Amino acid sequence: MKHYRLILAGLLLFSTTVLAIEKTGSEQSDKQIQHRQQAMPFAADQTLQTFSKTVHGGIQHITAKSADNTRQIKLIQDYLLNLTNTFKKGDFSETERMHGADMPGLARLKSAKTDDIKYEYKGLENGAQIHYSTEYPELVQALHEWFDAQIKDHGNDVIPEHVQHHSTPAE
């Protein structure tokens, strides 16, 4: 009888812990969506964003969920074009404002010379992308840390047409 009570108490404790973890995970994803909606000029719930690491840096994609949503596509393209131009100048103030000065990788990215990292904007039919690349291993590491922090804060959606294209970090 004592073993039965111990087992029952253990199951009760375990189920309570699982519910608390599920609630925390749900609250975190709700906070991420809310933060993304406040920080970005486009509607986060109408877009997909992904960060794919590559050998020389990474690629950030933002696409509209609907190819017919020309308003969101234009907002995405304007946002990423502006972001590319500010990064080219070594200006990471928007990132710092959103994520904090202690964001992983950010200090090294800010200290890089303007030609040390290439930021290449590309408009897509349903959004846009920035290709980040460098030949300096310490800056590749900084970009990867920065991408990991972006993923942690914003999530990393699956963009079907890009999954196979970036399935290996060969770029």
Going from N- to C-terminal start, the domains of the chain cover 40-163
* Band of residue 2 on the pLDDT scale cut at 50, 70, 90: low
Nearest C-alpha neighbor of 72 from the set 40, 50, 43, 99: 43
Number of continuous H segments (helices) and E segments (strands) in the chain: 6, 4
- At 66-76, the pLDDT tens digits run 999 999 999 99
Pairwise CA distance, residues 32 & 45, whole Å: 11
Q: What percent of the chain has pLDDT over 90?
A: 53
Q: What percent of the chain has pLDDT over 70?
A: 68
* Alpha carbon of residue 84 to chain centroid: 15
Residues 6+ away with beta carbon under 8 Å from 12: none
Name the token pair of 87.
Answer: 């990064």
Looking at residue 56, its pLDDT comes to 97
Pairwise CA distance, residues 134 & 116, whole Å: 6
